[in-house]
Amino acid sequence: MIFGNYAYDEQYIKLNGVKYYILALFDIELNTLVDYHISDNIGKKEITDFIKRSTCQQKRISLTTDGKPMYKNIADELGFIHNLCIFHVIKDVKKIVNDKMKSKKLDENQKAEYYDAGKIILEIFRSKPYKKANKKFTNLMKHLDKIPKEFVDFVKNKIKPNFQSYMKHLQFDFLPTTNNSLENYFGVTLPRYLKKLFKTVEGIEIYLDLQRVKWDQNHGKNISPIEFFT
């Protein structure tokens, strides 16, 4: 095991109709929640302070996140390798293609152009090793005039500036391809239907603490509620 690899994300909740965010840091190797913080703000300083505080006595090797630009700045500032989750970009590509396939404004040839372009992009993210993926991306950049404009903009604005972060998992084999471990954690411990039921910060904190103990016990970590709260 290589310790010091984390996934970071936020979950929103409503307390008495007011929107709050659960800032969460997950240990990928140990498959456990490191820490969380509830805030009505998710600015760069708030997130930086939270991650810094949560890892102050731990190794900082990698931070896997989704594609918000500030996450890379935070990772760099705190000394992490920034590893971008490829799930979100793959999801975005598929959405563009699926929307175009359903469009009544496009003829079959135009739809085929979107389908082919989407396939080319997805093949980049499914390629191994890094050298092969990089070669395919370089080739795509040389032939952007061959794909629909919407995908040209997508490649230039989203993929190109972040390509190295998307491909970090191919350069360091201990890195995950996604931050789905954290999303799975919240899918189990905080289902969508519960997010609007809590009234106070203290109430959601008690619930999250108990769910954290339950998760760890179910995943082989014998932490009792008494141990956790002392």
The domain 5-84+178-228 having CATH identifier 3.40.630.30: the answer here is: no
What's the average model confidence in pLDDT over 190-195? 85
Angle subtended by helix axes 180-189 and 201-218, to nearest 10: 110
- Per-residue pLDDT band for 179 (boundaries 50, 70, 90) equals confident
pLDDT at 228: 35
Measured CA to CA, the distance from residue 211 to residue 145 in angstroms comes to 51
What's the average model confidence in pLDDT over 10-14? 90
Residue 65 pairs in a beta bridge with 84
Burial-class residue 122 by CB neighbours within 10 Å (0-12, 13-18, 19+).
middle
225 has a pLDDT exceeding 50 = no
DSSP tag of 200: S
Residue 46 pairs in a beta bridge with none
Measured CA to CA, the distance from residue 16 to residue 216 in angstroms comes to 30
DSSP tag of 162: G
What pLDDT, in 10s, does the model give residues 79-97?
999 999 999 899 999 999 9
Judge contact between 91 and 32, C-beta under 8 A. no
Q: E-assigned strands of the chain?
A: 5-15, 18-27, 32-39, 62-65, 81-84
229 vs 100 pLDDT, higher one: 100
pTM of the model: 0.84
What pLDDT, in 10s, does the model give residues 111-148?
999 999 999 999 999 999 999 999 999 999 999 999 99
Give the alpha-carbon dihedral of 164, 169, 174, 176, to 10 degrees: 120
Say how many C-beta atoms besides its own lie within 10 A of residue 6's C-beta. Answer: 30
230 has a pLDDT exceeding 70 = no
In the sheet where 5-15 sits, what is the strand order?
A: 32-39, 18-27, 5-15, 62-65, 81-84
Q: What is the mean pLDDT of the chain?
A: 91
Measured CA to CA, the distance from residue 161 to residue 156 in angstroms comes to 7
pLDDT at 229: 35
What's the average model confidence in pLDDT over 42-58? 94
Q: Which helix (H) or strand (E) holds 97?
A: helix 86-102
pLDDT at 205: 94
Q: What percent of the chain has pLDDT over 90?
A: 76
Residue 14 pairs in a beta bridge with 19
Judge contact between 65 and 84, C-beta under 8 A. yes
Residue 5 pairs in a beta bridge with 62
Measured CA to CA, the distance from residue 197 to residue 203 in angstroms comes to 10
